[in-house]
A and B are shown apart, each in its own frame.
Chain A
Amino acid sequence: MSSTRLRRKAGPYALLVPATLVLFVGMAYPLGRQLMLSFHEFGRAQQFGQPAPWVGLDNYRELVTDRTMWTVIARSLAFCFVNASITMVLGTLIAVLMKRVATAPRLILQISMLLAWAMPVIAAMTAWQWLFDTRYGLVNWSLRKLGFASFDGHNWLIDPLSFFFVASVIIIWMSVPFVAFTAYAALTQVSEETLEASHLDGATATQRFRHIVYPTIKPVLTIVALLQIVWDLRVFAQINFLQNVGGTPSETHLLGTYIYSLGIGQNDYGSASAMAMFVLVLTLVLTVRYVWSLLKEEPR
């Protein structure tokens, strides 16, 4: 083989080396390492430098029988379900609204949504912390003005349900713009001529939606819903931030913050890793079909 031909064959592989190296060191190696960690026991002795003993599947067995873990999982799934569905419904409705209104109100709504979407998560969190502030917050002030005197000095984060209400308001506020913009982009793909023709043929608004609009936007909505579910399963920043402000961590943990508190908080790297493996597998199971569908369009 001539050297030029060898170069040409090796060329693409050489180009992949830097990215592969970064992904190996930053992701693949930690992944393998985490699998190993999850088979080891980390207790008090390990904090003083003893090597962690191999315990096989013990960490997984413990987690499966642990009430706290099931509570955290159930809580995370419920939180994810509620937030993802409200976000999807609101986002889609807002997209439909954007399609129906005149240009001026539509642009105003779009600019406003873009602002909310662009906000860095911690900047947005401080804003909401300030809005829900116990003594000087605007929310309590408004509720008092509306005649609810009991909101004078009301703490929104002490009660777990109220804590999750605040977290949901923030997360929905942050997530709706993405859904609305994507659904709006999909709605603009619906053929106006087909709609008009079916209208002339006597199709009702419901029929037109079911048979023309819905099939067009369905693929986009499915993917957006999937991304929303994956994102809402792991709302670490928001929950961790609110736990810092107030709230009882043990009663407000979701998957991400629970792993953090087990691992970084209590140095129980074994259980934390086992739990993290569960989250990782769950995410991959949820998304593998989407990734596969992207790949299907690739030339071989």
Chain B
Amino acid sequence: MNARARLWGAVAIVLAVIWAFPVYWIANSAFQPVEALRSPNPSFLPDFSASGFGRVFDASFVDSLKLSLTVTLLAIVAAVLCGFVAAVAISRFRFRGRRSFIFTVLAIQMIPPEALFISQYKMLNDWGLLNSVVGLGLLYTALILPFTVWMLRGFVDGIPIDLEEAAMTDGCSRTRAFFTITFPLLAPGLVASSVYGFLQAWNEYTLAVVVMDPSNRTLPLWLRGLTDVSNEAVDWPAVMAGATLVATPVIILFMIVQNRMTSGMVGGAVKG
């Protein structure tokens, strides 16, 4: 290996360290006694005999975990069901209004939550749905639905219609052919779009801040609340343990779908 290649290799390693460091620092700080984080010099290696996990795993965490899981599951099930049938329609049928529907879905996908949260707040307020699982779940479903439609549509497109047609010539009805032939092949697509929905809803902060009360917090709000005390009172090992608990499922799932998401976001721009 020549000197130049080695130099670039070293640059890559330095960058890797910089980018991974904050993640390492969360894990490291979670495994420290409180005093260590209040000492003049930081400890760079975790101390597995002490950790903040025990202190952070209390009733408020369990409440927030339940709330986050309920809202997330509600949004995923609703978005994947609605998204799936819509994806079948735009992939398998040609009909008037099809392109307009796709255009609307893609345009809605671009609208940032900040541009609508005022009226969404007013709307839920009028319907008595502020600070409720149903209200937040509805907003989350609408938030993740556009990309779910787009992603599932790609999966349905990927399954050749010839298979269904062959079954139909053998006497199957169109619906039956779809469900016995195509549907089982769509399992990876349904998993991937559920994971995408999970990541969005689980991490969501903006709408949760707007819609939920401090008494009823999803996990991101709960995590923020941990440092919402006077500086001297912050229990940093516990906060970092909390961050670890929130982040771990996300990191695992993210690794699974990362490829799909990159290609989905860039749409048709990258041609193999």
A: residues with CB less than 8 A from B are: 9, 11-13, 15-16, 18-23, 25-27, 29-31, 33-34, 37, 94, 97-98, 100-102, 104-106, 108-109, 111-131, 133-136, 138, 141, 173, 176-178, 181-182, 185-186, 189, 219-220, 223-224, 227, 230, 233-234, 236-237, 240-241, 244-245, 255-256, 259-260, 263-264, 269, 272-273, 276-277, 279-280, 283-284, 287-288, 291-295, 297-300
Decide if B255 touches A114 in the complex (CB within 8 Å). yes
Does the CB pair B123–A113 fall under 8 Å? no
Given contacts A101-B9, A182-B266, contact A126 B239 (CB under 8 A): yes
Q: Could you tell me the distance in whole angstroms from the C-beta of A77 to the nearest C-beta in chain B?
A: 15
Contacts of B265 in A (CB 8 A): 178, 182, 227
Known: A130-B236, A283-B112, A291-B106. A119 touches B251 (CB 8 A): yes
User: Once bound together, how far apart are the Cα atoms of A105 and B1, in whole Å?
Assistant: 13
Residues of B within 8 A of A9 (CB): 95
The smallest beta-carbon distance between A128 and chain B, in angstroms, is 6
Mostly helix, strand, loop or mixed at chain A's interface? Answer: helix
Q: Enumerate chain B residues within 8 angstroms of A227, measured Cβ to Cβ.
A: 265
A8 to B110 Cα, complex, angstroms: 32
Contact among A108, A127, A244 with B243 in the assembled complex (CB-CB below 8 Å): A127
Binding site for A on B (CB under 8 A): 1, 5, 8-9, 11-13, 15-17, 19-20, 22-23, 25-26, 29, 37-38, 41-42, 78-79, 81-83, 85-86, 88-90, 92-95, 97-99, 101-108, 110-123, 138-139, 141-143, 145-146, 149, 202-203, 205-206, 209-210, 220-221, 223-224, 226-228, 231, 236, 239-240, 242-244, 246-247, 250-251, 254-255, 258, 262-263, 265-272
CA distance A104 to B116 in the complex (A): 45
What is the CA–CA distance of A138 and B43 in the complex, to the nearest angstrom?
Answer: 10
Using A182-B262, A264-B121, A276-B116 as known contacts, say yes or no to A113 and B224 having CB atoms under 8 A apart.
no
Is B139 within 8 A of A279, CB to CB? Answer: no
B93: which A residues are within 8 A, CB to CB?
A: 11-12, 15
Among candidates B111, B223, B243, residue contacting A27 with C-beta atoms closer than 8 Å: B111
CB pair B103–A295 under 8 Å, yes or no, is yes
Q: Which of A134, A220, A224, A230 contacts B112 (CB 8 A)?
A: A230
Query: Distance in Å from the Cβ of A184 to the closest Cβ of chain B?
Result: 10
- Check A22 against B270 for contact (C-beta < 8 Å): no
> A123 near B246 (CB under 8 angstroms)?
yes
Knowing that A22-B138, A126-B226, A300-B99 are A-B contacts, what are 15 other residue pairs whose CB atoms are under 8 Å apart, sorted by A's residue number? Answer: A16-B90, A23-B145, A29-B123, A106-B12, A116-B23, A127-B240, A141-B41, A141-B42, A236-B205, A236-B206, A245-B227, A264-B118, A273-B118, A280-B116, A297-B268
The dominant DSSP class at the B interface is helix
- Distance in Å: Cβ of B36 to nearest Cβ of chain A: 10
CA distance A131 to B239 in the complex (A): 13
Question: Measured between alpha carbons, how far is A126 from B106 in the docked complex, in Å?
Answer: 33
CA distance A177 to B254 in the complex (A): 13
**Chain B hits for A173, CB < 8 A:** 19, 22
Specify which of A19, A29, A30, A31 is in contact with B83 (CB 8 Å cutoff): A19
Task: Give 8 closest A-B pairs by Cβ, nearest first.
Answer: A26-B142, A34-B119, A118-B254, A15-B89, A256-B114, A12-B93, A280-B115, A112-B20
Please tell me if the beta carbons of B99 and A119 are within 8 angstroms of each other in the complex: no
- Which of B12, B25, B101, B142 is close to A97, meaning CB atoms less than 8 Å apart? B12
Is the beta-carbon distance between B262 and A237 smaller than 8 angstroms?
no
Q: Are A276 and B25 in contact (CB under 8 A)?
A: no
Specify which chain A residues have a CB less than 8 angstroms from the CB of B255 in the assembled complex. Answer: 114, 118
Q: State the Cβ distance, B177 to closest chain A Cβ, in Å.
A: 14
Selected contact of B145 from candidates A22, A181, A276, CB within 8 Å: A22
> Which residues of the partner chain A approach B221 to less than 8 Å between Cβ atoms?
122
Minimum C-beta distance from B214 to chain A (A): 12
> With A31-B116, A118-B254 given, is the CB distance from A287 to B110 under 8 Å?
yes
Given contact pairs A122-B220, A127-B240, A279 touches B102 in the complex (Cβ within 8 A) = no
For residue B206, which residue of chain A has the nearest CB? A236
**Inter-chain contact A272/B118, CB cutoff 8 Å:** yes
What chain B residues lie within 8 Å of A16 (beta carbons)?
85-86, 89-90, 101
